[in-house]
Structure formats: C-alpha cells, structure tokens
Amino acid sequence: MLVAFSHHPPSSQWEPLLLPRFPGLVLWAWFRPPQLPTGVLVRVPPELVAVHPGGFPFSLADLLSAAGIDFHQLHSVSIFGTEWQQAAVITPYLAHPMPSVAPGASMEISINVVEQSVANPGSMMVPAATMPTAVEVAEPAVADTESQEAGALMYDRIDTAWRVSMQMERQMTGLRKKLAAMLKTLGNLDRDLGPDERLAADREDRDNWQDARRWVRELSARCHRELKNFDIGMTSGAGKRHVIEQVFKEVIEPRKPSNDLTNIHREFEAYRKDMTNLQKAMTAALQAAGQNGTQRSQRILATIRRKIKERRAKMREKIGGANMDKSVRRKS
C-alpha cells in the first residue's frame, strides 16, 4: 500500500521503490535522510544503468507517484548530481524520460519536498446552538483557513530554502578542500623546465610549456578567487550568512508569527540562488583547473620525458660488447 510522503517516517536503510508503470523495475529510496530531511533520495541500481546507457524509460512523475509525493509538493530536484532546479523550472519536464547517467556521476536523484500543513477539521466546528447564519461565517472561516494554510506553506518554503542552502554549504566545504589541493598542484607546475627537459625539448615543446604555464597562472588566480569568495564572501560573517541564520532560528524555526514573511522568503530564496551560483563557480573552477591546467601540463611534460629517454638511448651505443655513454668516450 502506497504511503503518502507526509506520513512516511525517515528510512533506516534503503527501501525498494516500485514503479507501477514498469512492473519488475525496482529502484531504491531513502526517505528523509539527514542531509535532506524534507525530501527523498532515489538511487538507480548499477545494473539498470548498464541496461539503459542512453536514458531511462521512467520519468520524474513516476518517481513522485511511487514516493507518494503530490506534484504540488515538489520544491526542487537535483538529477544525478547536477545543480538543484526549482519546481517552476522542472515541472514542464515531469513526464519526460529521465536522462542517462554521465560517467563518474552520482546515480542518485534528490527530490526536495514542501510539506503542506493539513488543517484539523474538528477545530473549525462550531456548536449548533451558537452557530450564526451561513452567510455570516462561511466566507470569513474559509478566508481564515486559507490564510493559515498560506502562512504555514510560506514557513515551509523558507525552511526548505534554508536547508537546501545548508546542504550546498556542506558540499562546498568539500569543494574548498579540493580547490586548495588543486591550487597547490598548480603552483608546483608553474616552473621552468629542468636541464634535462630543456635539452630534450624542441622549440615547439618549449612554446607549449610556456603556453601551459600561462594557463596554470590564470587558473591559479581563478581557484584563489573562488576560495576567497567562499571564505570571506556570502557564507562568512562578512556576508549574509549570520543574518539569515539568525532570522531562521528566531522566526522560522519556532514558527513565530510575522507580517514580513514575503520579504523573508525573498531574502532566503536570494541567498539560496547566491549559494547555487557560488557552488557552480567553484565546481567550474575546479574542472577547468583539471582540464586546462594539470592535464594540459602533464601531457606536455610526458612528451618531454619520452624525448629525454629517447635522447639518452641515442647517447649510448655498444663498444666492445658493453654500452657506454658517448659523453664519456675519448676521441681516438
């Protein structure tokens, strides 16, 4: 029996997720994991990835239905490790088949949910002896209920935006370590060619190495800039981080009544978007440093190392049954 997401307890292990439209096809789900308490992680088994290298037959709508999530509860989605997409962006593609998993990418789909508060019908009942006419109470009662539900939904949206931001901050902490390590690697590559390398390299090799060093210096500056943006930017006390967190703890988490929820929601959404852009910039800097920095330099150095070996081999020849370097032979 399908359980609605709102009533589904946190998982203690991966649970099978059955898709009604595809009998025999089984995915795995983890409801309300610690890193996504208002959502669900869906994992695609490796064997299914191997069978469908070009994409999967099921859609995001199939996953939502199998997880007991109403379409209107969808807040945002991250597909196979890509950046989070808001419901307004992803909704038109709900029925589209899911894309394939890129090599080395995560095989998980993260779905973030806005849990709507359900009003208690009993609390709205009025004793028959004191009930005024229908005209007098119907419209105000409905308006009050809608106002309460709208307020609860706004709190949920703000709470979700904050938790998604915190999840991205944890991911960026890992990215920061990788960027720092990459910065050190790039620094080691920004060097002159050694004596053996200069002798073995031709003009083209030396030009390529100078070009690679320019890339290394530019990418080092880029990595340093993104590290600085993370350390003293929006995620630090110099940015909005502490102010946003204070509002969350004092107003949103305790559900303290506020007439400024719309502006608060706007601020939290802006902060989430800023975090998304920062995460995207850090990831792009790391990828560029790997492709155009370390990989480019290592290819050139590998070519020069091969020429060093070839040069050393040419400098040696058999003399009286033994190999001797030409550089130590005396002229006869």
Give the tokens for residue 56: 């999967």
- For residues 147 and 75, give the distance between their C-alpha atoms in angstroms, rounded to a whole number: 20
Identify whether 224 is part of a domain: yes
Residues 178 and 255 occupy one common structural domain: yes
> Coil, strand or helix: which one is 27?
strand
Q: Which of 51, 85, 113 is the last residue of a domain?
A: 113
- Are the C-beta atoms of 161 and 271 separated by less than 8 Å? yes
Count of structural domains within the chain: 2
Three-point CA angle 97, 101, 106, nearest 5°: 120
Identify whether 257 is part of a domain: yes
Residues 207 and 287 occupy one common structural domain: yes
Residues 70 and 187 occupy one common structural domain: no
Q: Which of 83, 113, 143 is the last residue of a domain?
A: 113
Residues 159 and 10 occupy one common structural domain: no
Identify whether 142 is part of a domain: no
Residues 93 and 172 occupy one common structural domain: no
Residues 55 and 180 occupy one common structural domain: no
Identify whether 141 is part of a domain: no
**Which residues make Cβ contacts (< 8 Å) with residue 330, sequence separation at least 6?**
none
Residues 277 and 218 occupy one common structural domain: yes
Identify whether 146 is part of a domain: no
> Coil, strand or helix: which one is 24?
coil
- Are the C-beta atoms of 41 and 29 separated by less than 8 Å? yes
The residue range of the domain holding 48 is 5-113
Largest Cα span, the chain:
129
- For residues 189 and 185, give the distance between their C-alpha atoms in angstroms, rounded to a whole number: 7
> Coil, strand or helix: which one is 130?
helix
Our CA dihedral for 184, 189, 190, 193, rounded to 10 degrees, sits at: 150
**Locus of tokens 């002159």:** 192
Identify whether 284 is part of a domain: yes
- Are the C-beta atoms of 138 and 86 separated by less than 8 Å? no
**Which residues make Cβ contacts (< 8 Å) with residue 279, sequence separation at least 6?**
83, 168, 171, 172, 175
Closest CA to 169 of 271, 285, 31: 271
pLDDT of the residue at 104: 79
pLDDT beneath 50, residues of the chain: 117-143, 146, 319-321, 331-332
Residues 162 and 91 occupy one common structural domain: no
**Which residues make Cβ contacts (< 8 Å) with residue 265, sequence separation at least 6?**
154, 157, 158, 161
Residue type, 228: K
Residue type, 89: V
Residues 233 and 303 occupy one common structural domain: yes
Residues 202 and 271 occupy one common structural domain: yes
Residue type, 10: P
pLDDT of the residue at 315: 82
Residues 71 and 182 occupy one common structural domain: no
Residues 178 and 106 occupy one common structural domain: no
pLDDT of the residue at 180: 94
- For residues 52 and 213, give the distance between their C-alpha atoms in angstroms, rounded to a whole number: 42
pLDDT of the residue at 9: 87
> Coil, strand or helix: which one is 164?
helix
Identify whether 120 is part of a domain: no
- For residues 169 and 240, give the distance between their C-alpha atoms in angstroms, rounded to a whole number: 13
